[in-house]
Amino acid sequence: MDLRIGQGYDIHRLVAGRPLILAGVSLTHPAGLGLDGHSDADVLTHALMDALLGALSLGDIGKHFPPGDPRWKDADSLRLLEQVMVLVRQRGWGLINVDLVVVAERPKLRPHIEQMRENLAQRLGIPPDRVGVKATTNEGLGPTGREEGIAAYAVALLHQP
């Protein structure tokens, strides 16, 4: 069995007047902030897509879904994730598991983690017990700590029988 591992990272700015969507879950920020970006700016799903693409050396989401392309304006990132999984499967690869970390001071993400895992598992075509989602604050440090943005990290493990 051949194995491949990939990692992904992303960060988006927190701004007023934008939705806050993480792994397809719409959240309410106490200061009314959301994530800036060309698509729906779902930073967690973006990091995951980069991990999947990276595992197969297929570049990054900017290559597959260019930010200037009107087709991806306000795009549902879970739909983009489905397209990435088509690329993975077309090449004969299957997914073993993924593990994600989202770095945000607010809002409290714990009540939403299970829904995030379910949303991602459904699009990835694997059971939720193979989708790890963890949330942490940055203890007030750096750009995420100052709530200038929300960042996310992901790893994905793929196999080919």
**Could you list the residues that contact Mg ion (CB under 5 A)?**
10, 46
Q: Can you point out the beta strands (E) in the chain?
A: 2-16, 20-22, 25-27, 33-35, 94-103, 131-136, 149-160
Give the type of residue at 11: I
Task: Find the shortest distance in angstroms from Cβ 29 to Mg ion.
Answer: 18
d(CA 50, CA 58): 9
The nearest distance, CB 63 to Mg ion, in angstroms, is 13
Gap between the Cα atoms of 75 and 96, Å rounded: 27
Minimum distance from residue 39 beta carbon to Mg ion (Å): 7
Backbone angles phi, psi at 66, to 5 degrees: -55, 135
Give backbone dihedrals phi and psi of 11, rounded to 5 degrees, phi first. Answer: -145, 140
Q: Which is nearer to Mg ion, 10 or 105 (CB)?
A: 10
Helix (H, G, I), strand (E, B) or coil at 123: helix
Neighbouring-strand partners of residue 139: none
- Comparing CB distances to Mg ion, the nearer of 21 and 85 is 21
Of 46 and 123, nearer to Mg ion (C-beta) is 46
CB of 161 to Mg ion, least distance (A): 32
Residue closer to Mg ion, measured from CB, 12 or 117: 12
SS3 79: helix
Nearest residue to the partner Mg ion, using Cβ: 46
d(CA 121, CA 97): 10
Please state the closest distance from residue 127 (CB atom) to Mg ion, in A.
26
Of 12 and 29, the one with the shorter C-beta distance to Mg ion is 12
